[in-house]
Structure 1
């Protein structure tokens, strides 16, 4: 089973490498990127697309960690609130019942 996983991983990596090679060879035309008045040198289109892909691959986990951190803070807050409510319930359960007038 372990060998099958390694072979499958190797095939997937080989396919990704082949697709990347085909992409780079098919997008060799040069382009210039202008952003906010800043102009890049003329580079193959594959460089710009690959840079955008890598930027997205780096930015998405960072954004995910920000959202995870916010959810984690909410969870901790709710856990504290739950503990406080449980203590209050235990305190109230230990008191004698009040009689109606």
Structure 2
């Protein structure tokens, strides 16, 4: 397929993915649907170390898994949310007071 982007023509050949219909199917709002599974897994690009404007990066992102030992209780999460909310309110109040002081001419 011949495509053009900003005056540059190029050939685009989308990859063909072979699928197999799964046994899971149903009806949603009057239309039939069915899951499709891949016949074989897709081939991934080989990892490459790239540089853009002096910053190095890779085309294969690093997957970070969270260790299970860092599970936080609901009580601790609620406490953090409350502290962050309080901190945001204080920062907003300080910002408004500072802005008012500049407008009045105290600073």
TM-score under structure 1 length normalisation:
0.34
More strand by share: 2
More helix by share: 1
Which one has a bigger Cα radius of gyration? 1
